[in-house]
Structure 1
Amino acid sequence: MSPLSDAAAARPAEAALFTALVDDAAVFPPGNAPLAEALRLHRIHRASGYAAWVGPLLVPASGARDLVGLLGAETPRAGEALRVAVIGRPGTPGTDVDEAVSLLRTTDDVEVVGVELGWTPGWRETPFGLPLSLEVPRGAAQLDAIADLAADVSDSTLLQAKFRTGATETWAWPDEGELATFIRAAVDHDLGFKLTGGLHHAVRGTYDGQEQHGLLNVLVAVRWALNGDEVDELVPLLAERDPAVLVAHTTRMSAADAAIVRAFFTAYGCCEVTDPIGELTTLRLVEGA
């Protein structure tokens, strides 16, 4: 496998591939940053040369009141509102998330841009009036959940699936076959999605003894899924560990390719946004970082 610096692109990829792609999940595992520190660093990210690649700050519903307190203690500042998405991990009652959203929506200089919850058959019972990401289960129930979400998608209903790509104590790492199956199902149902957990690096590999999917692998696999590739054809793309191969695939994507890929793969949460962005910079796929 080529070192990242040896695989550097001759020219950047289409900027739209990476714009607002990496949501700031600093307070979530494995980063587990205190909310005050996550807020401080997010302010730095949003003022940096790589701000274009960074999405909203992800805040657990249970931390909404603490965030309001932190903002109240800040010196008033001019500039953009703090963009946040409110997260309820699977099992969190929708009413708890609704209370957090209501609180943050009435807080000065905060813009709530989305809500994330675990999918349940009763997810429609709490209307948020915001873009909604629902984390789907794995196994046989996944296709039912994806079909259920796809049935409600429209131009006026911003709704997408969410899938966990990283391992936790209760969630084994999903291999290339499982991730390819999710991507194929989402594309087949014309359903956008975001990913969470485990996408800390640009290229598929073993990091600190753990298997991790690669950001570029996912972008390339989505492009080929849109081209009609089936699961068994997507698996090698997700398994590719040579950055030079992935860089070549990525830089060949046109502006139209980038737009449709990102219409499906909308974002993912990462607890340290500078990790993937730094690697994309080393690969010369992005400018301005």
Structure 2
Amino acid sequence: MADEAVVTSIIASPIRLPLWIAVDPTCLVAADCATQSCQDINGANDLAKDLGRFVNARARVDGARSFGFRVAESTALPDRPGKGKNPASLDLSDTSTKEDPVMSMSNASIPVFEIGLNALSAVLDKAETYAAARSIDPATLLSARLFPDMFALTQQVQSACDQAKNGGARLAGIDPPRYEDNEKTIAELKARIAKTVTFVKTLDAKKIDESADREIAFPLGPNMGHMRGADYLNHFAVPNFYFHVTTAYDILRHCGVEIGKRDFLGTIPMRVT
């Protein structure tokens, strides 16, 4: 139910405007001033700003808690509308053993490739189990494709590995390892994934973090592509990686393998309560 102090701020007047009123950080009430008008547009704007600051601050608290930060009791947050001082504020002393949650270049690449590849490997496990249970030749799955002009499953897995190792290596300023692309079985594809994960985990995070403004040059068909490190990661390396991981998943799902979104996501850093 709407806070009485907030409701009383909406009274009749000729001025009409839409207003979002935050009664509690967990409850948003939409007051449509087409029927409920505001007496003073300046007062309405001030109220909206105060409410916005409160909700944003509460979001920062919730976000900090999700990363393991301690939320101390003080008065640093904006006053809660109609409720006086809010007792919660941020104490950014990390009491957990988690990694720095800041979205650095290395945090946006190394864990993404590692988790995505491990999830892909687990999906291949389910494909192998599915084939054995139904007496299907695994080669049938490996040669499956969504459309004749698209890569088959084998090439999708190989390409996902390539995007991870090549993208990570270029950001770290080193040459990526070269693979022979000669995998013929699910076990061999899983070995390629494991080898790629091992390589990605050896990349120098500091070097990757320093690559945001460095030019990355990479083969692009018969040409060479040139991008800033941050643009290369966000708009080329990661999207291409997920394109092939997603297509591999889609091929297996289309073939009947019983996999779902959780299989695609893999083991992500999430706490469930």
Q: TM-score range by the shorter chain?
A: under 0.3
Instruction: Say which structure, 1 or 2, has more relative contact order (CA 8 Å, 6+ apart).
Output: 1
Higher strand share: 1
- Structure showing greater radius of gyration is 2
TM-score, structure 1 normalization: 0.25
Higher helix share: 2
